[in-house]
Structure 1
């Protein structure tokens, strides 16, 4: 299958662009990454139920996702650096106030405000790479490398601070990381997005159907990924492991996950997107079946670690596909919203599936949703390939 792909010989992106985009990505996605500790800290520090603590996080996730998708059409017409500056200021203000909040009501409001700033930064990180980078897929791979490396330290420190200071500890860590990374946002180019250059991707960008299909695929894939991740601890009971063993497994998985991110960065689109995307969809389905149906401690640990590797490998290709649709970065920014909505929906879908028919039902639902996401992606790739063939000049041999 022929696909549109960026020329591997294109020049390297400026380090300032890559570093600034990574800083925006980390600040924008830090709370979803640390959400297990935030929920646990809220429950212990404010004596909240699982439902109330989950609702606070849901409000922040919803604000994050809605902001990302609402700001996406506007980003190409404004200064990325100014948007990032306003967003990080709002985020820091809300995060600082959250540390000292003593009621669930005020904390819900403050986390919602923080989500607005985080959503804007998340959208900026994806949009600026799409519109200003010569190779968005590779930079999105760098994002996953940083997440894989940073999560090892963040999980270790976050666990200690949450145990010692409950919600104030983990919120202070999030605010501290945000403050430390904020100066790097000045490296983001103070310019609007570049206009399209007449490539095949730009020719079909007027069709919203491909964008909707891409966003739906990202949302569906993240739903099943988050479903398995959220219930990784309960799944350990099927394998006869304790919580400590799961903690060690997740720590190892975060470190080994670097292999997935590195592979995506190195492979890039050398084999196109259809082959890698098909590979990780099949791999994730097999891992899901192993986690839910194979009650063996060794198999559980191996499957959990491989699932994280697959996750870090898969995300650059999904964001790269969104970037291929529109070089101004609008669909790439909206992809962040689909990612976050899927991340938030995962635990709800998993809980409903398990309540209906146990973990076998969870496996069946995850495999079915993954297949649906794969079908949508293949449809988008086929349309992009067709547009690329039409745009290519036909050589006539005399």
Structure 2
């Protein structure tokens, strides 16, 4: 019998699965750097392998966008974690390039499967942005701990890949808390009936914007290790410490954003946050020493998860079935996959400062459509995923299935109507005579 997804155990399982799936992109700089050093590859070749890993993750998300609930969240999650353990583990155990690439592709497909299951489950919760924030806190803490630990485990490409495989094995036991059948969310069964994808233009704009947004972020993130060691002249241990501090700043940023909750909405954090990230990207790419490199990386990573949590919550609010959450997450993974190659090619042709200028310009361009989608979604009528006050998902299902026209539905955030007192009508002569007669008797 499937368990209820809103139980605390189900939330913990979704957060753990989110952490395992997102850990590979967070460890991308050290994975790419270790592949280049351990296998004797050039920067572009190592970046291409990192892109292949993330392409496998994106392909899993696109393939599973509407199939998670048919397969069953528990079964799909376990298949993904098994692929992660086998793929990353086999890639770590060999030094043959074709076998490493094959293992990385399999592991990336497993990461994408785990992320798709987590995104689909988070979208069905009453507050998807809060659940996404918890997931980002968890993955930032895990990645920060690994950045402090991996430099002390020796060189070669095996340690970061083994860390990803071990993360999958550690998460495996909590998958028993996920629903085992295809009815993952009984309270939104009506909304999950076969039907067209809602909010297609807004969702498509969000997915396209997320692709470019993630590409710009990870183009720099994929070469940040080399910027620190080559351009800034830092050691690998120092760069790892900077990354750990940066991810710690991300924890603080997400904590503050979670405390503020919906007070700022989504449009302001997405628009202003993306513009500030563009400045941080330019600062990191032009860093010539420890101070500028650390400042750019720490400020950037403090803002990145805040904006990402708003984008993930926005995608989840567009469809309670989780299809836009999975599709937008897969588009983000696709942009992440293209990031290492883009960063390597731009850095080799235009240098690190030129690469930073190009990526900052792309972020400023993409900030406008993302902010427009956030403003549009904030003013939607009562539809699935948009009700958070006194009703949650059951009320969202009612709003989705009722035949009332959109214009008659109250808008989210609209002021409540004032209740005007209505005076009673004046008594008639007959009523006065009846009252007089009763008092006499």
TM-score range relative to shorter protein: 0.7 to 0.9
Contact (CA 8 Å) 1:126, 1:332: kept in 2 or not? yes
Q: Higher helix fraction: Structure 1 or Structure 2? A: 1
Flag structure 2 segments of 5+ consecutive residues without an equivalent: 383-406, 412-416, 421-441
Distance 1:65 1:116 in 2: 8
Contact (CA 8 Å) 2:15, 2:135: kept in 1 or not? yes
TM-score, normalised via structure 1 length: 0.85
Contact (CA 8 Å) 2:36, 2:43: kept in 1 or not? yes
**What is the deviation of 1:158?**
2.1
Query: Does residue 1:225 correspond to 2:217, yes or no?
Result: yes
Indicate the residue corresponding to 2:316 in structure 1: 323
Query: Is the alpha carbon distance of 1:45 and 1:304 closer, same or farther for their aligned partners in structure 2, counting shifts above 3 Å?
Result: closer
Contact (CA 8 Å) 2:47, 2:344: kept in 1 or not? no
Distance 2:118 2:12 in 1: 10
Match for residue 54 of structure 1 among 47, 50, 57: 47
Query: Is the alpha carbon distance of 1:56 and 1:229 closer, same or farther for their aligned partners in structure 2, counting shifts above 3 Å?
Result: closer
Distance 2:62 2:101 in 1: 21
Query: Does residue 1:288 correspond to 2:305, yes or no?
Result: no
**What is the deviation of 1:346?**
2.2
Distance 2:292 2:36 in 1: 32
Query: Is the alpha carbon distance of 1:86 and 1:283 closer, same or farther for their aligned partners in structure 2, counting shifts above 3 Å?
Result: same
Q: Which structure is larger by alpha-carbon Rg, 1 or 2?
A: 2
Match for residue 169 of structure 2 among 179, 190, 193: 179
Distance 1:237 1:207 in 2: 45
Match for residue 154 of structure 1 among 140, 146, 156: 146
Indicate the residue corresponding to 1:84 in structure 2: 77
**What is the deviation of 1:237?**
7.5
Q: Residues 122-271 of structure 1 correspond to what in structure 2 (within 5 A)?
A: 122-131=115-124, 133-163=125-155, 166-191=156-181, 192-194=183-185, 195=188, 205-236=197-228, 240-243=232-235, 244-271=237-264
Query: Is the alpha carbon distance of 1:300 and 1:50 closer, same or farther for their aligned partners in structure 2, counting shifts above 3 Å?
Result: closer
**What is the deviation of 1:281?**
1.5
Distance 1:174 1:289 in 2: 30
Distance 1:168 1:52 in 2: 17
Distance 1:107 1:358 in 2: 29
Contact (CA 8 Å) 1:138, 1:264: kept in 2 or not? no
Higher relative contact order (CA 8 A, sep 6+): 1
Query: Does residue 1:118 correspond to 2:111, yes or no?
Result: yes
Match for residue 24 of structure 1 among 10, 14, 17: 17
Contact (CA 8 Å) 1:221, 1:370: kept in 2 or not? yes
Indicate the residue corresponding to 1:393 in structure 2: 410
Flag structure 1 segments of 5+ consecutive residues without an equivalent: 1-11
Distance 1:149 1:156 in 2: 11
Distance 1:43 1:294 in 2: 22
Contact (CA 8 Å) 1:223, 1:344: kept in 2 or not? yes
Alpha-carbon RMSD: 3.0
Q: Give the match's secondary structure for 1:268.
A: helix
**What is the deviation of 1:153?**
1.4
Query: Is the alpha carbon distance of 1:371 and 1:115 closer, same or farther for their aligned partners in structure 2, counting shifts above 3 Å?
Result: same
Q: Give the match's secondary structure for 1:134.
A: coil
Bigger CA drift: 315-324 or 148-157? 148-157
